[in-house]
Amino acid sequence: MSALPSTAADAVPDAALADQLDAAAAVLAERPALVLTGAGMSTDSGIPDYRGPDGTRRVTPMHLSEFVASSQARQRYWARSYVGWQRFSAARPNDGHRQVTALQRLGAIGSLITQNVDGLHQAAGTTDVIDLHGRLSRVVCMSCGDLSARTDLDARMRALNPGYEVDSDEIRPDGDIRLDEVDVERFVPPTCLVCGSDMLRPDVVFFGGAVPKPLVQECFALTDAAPALLVLGSSLQVMSGLRFVRRAAARGIPVVILTRGPTRGDELATLRIDTELAPALAGLVERLG
């Protein structure tokens, strides 16, 4: 693997940051890199990430085994998600998303694998996006496989729960929130319009679930064909994304990691930049444009 300037996970002075961005731009100028993004990409849109600066998980989403175990668990999930969706769905792309789109239009990056479920890369105009963990905007029935739009389900839940309002400013990466039990118990959960089952879930990879193998293989194929890998806004704490960094490092291609705080992939990076995403991405666009 070629040696490029790297730093520890501490924030760097302006002069050193400029040198690092020059090095990153040099990598991207030679070839369209594969991109992997995480929750840090959407924090400027008002969607918090799962972990604090020290890597500790802020919240633990509902586990898949709990969700499938009982109707009561699904009622609790949809009550919390119904309230949380009102804020989650209002999030809009931030400058970081727009700079990624600009880099793609400049030919500096190609396909993009995102661990986020918010669809904000696509909303910003980025194309060839692989939603590794699915999309909250879709709903699937675990009984019959029917796929529907979350907006349609939201309208049905509103009709099932007239006057249901909970005062909450909370928002989470998966659209979930905390609710008192009394608010959960008065919520009428939705059922599938095709088969009548209450086994509806958002079309995302739940905590405790696994990314479908064909999708993993598609992403491995992209990694194997990529001349470089650019990681944005991910702590790489879960194997879901880290495996692609390991694959890229094993191939000996440049791995550039740009995010705030330490990551599990730091030792694999040829270039590690610890700084705010949007300004750094704007710096790359300026250098490459």
Q: Which of 249, 247, 250, 271 shows the shortest CA–CA distance to 259?
A: 271
261: Cβ contacts below 8 Å, ≥ 6 apart: 9, 53, 54, 55, 235, 274
Strands 200-204 and 134-141: antiparallel
Structure tokens at 35: 């991109």
219 labeled part of a ligand binding site: no
Cα–Cα dist 16/19, whole Å? 5
Active-site annotation holds for 133: yes
220: Cβ contacts below 8 Å, ≥ 6 apart: 243, 244, 247
15: Cβ contacts below 8 Å, ≥ 6 apart: none
Cα–Cα dist 21/103, whole Å? 14
How far, in Å, are 52, 157, 182, 188 from residue 162 at the CA level? 37, 9, 16, 10
192 labeled part of a ligand binding site: yes
Q: Which of 243, 232, 230 shows the shortest CA–CA distance to 28?
A: 230
141 labeled part of a ligand binding site: yes
* Marked catalytic residue, from 63, 97, 121, 133: 133
Which residue type does 76 have?
A: R
- Residues belonging to the binding site for Zn(2+) are 141, 144, 192, 195
Q: Which positions make up the binding site?
A: 141, 144, 192, 195
Catalytic residues: 133
